[in-house]
Chains A and B, each alone.
Chain A
């Protein structure tokens, strides 16, 4: 989930298990959402996106769920692997804005244990 402090929330997952990462977004008018993965020392990488006219979208080993009623996003990773260890954060955007502003959450640290 979100963090406003210096320490990111951490999710420890055993290799092979499924991971669920949560995100609460702030703007009820946001209509486009993205999950990013950031490995140590690297820039954020796009994982999956979803538009507000959908409540679920699946990718390769990942599923994003959107609950607009409570302004909540989740990212599910199936069969978590060591390479999935990273910080995951969500971003929200309002596509009707004249420019592409993304509002990012603080992130969740995922640690995959053998």
Chain B
């Protein structure tokens, strides 16, 4: 049981380049999230999805796009990377609200550096 898997684990981009981060979960979870984590700060929500084919903006969506074409995958795209997007990115998934425990399960993170 892999849980939540993120690829890649590390990446260095030049300013202006684009890339896609992939998140895959095998728990049949409805909800998926992308967070960024910066030093000394809590996790900040970038985008989220409440089901296949749906996406919505979180707290810090600017500069990012997402897609949820399949229930198990949630993709985060950076169209034109900027140094301010240097961060550690975490994907998470959780069951829907009909379950008692709705904790989010996290991937191992992607460390992205934009130079």
* Residues of chain B whose beta carbon lies under 8 Å from any beta carbon of chain A: 4, 31, 33, 35, 39-45, 48, 50, 56, 58, 90, 92, 94, 96-97, 101-109
Contact = CB atoms under 8 A, between A and B. Distances in A.
Interface of A: 3, 5-8, 32, 34, 36, 41-46, 49, 89, 91, 93, 95, 98-102, 104-107
B105 A46 contact: yes
A33 B58 CA distance: 19
A102 B96 CA distance: 13
Contacts of B92: 43
B42 A89 contact: yes
B103 to A, nearest CB: 5
Given A43-B90, A45-B106, A46-B105, A100 B31 contact: yes
The prevalent SS among residues of A at the interface is: loop
A60 B55 CA distance: 37
B40 A7 contact: yes
A43 B56 contact: no
Given A43-B107, A98-B50, A100-B96, A49 B101 contact: yes
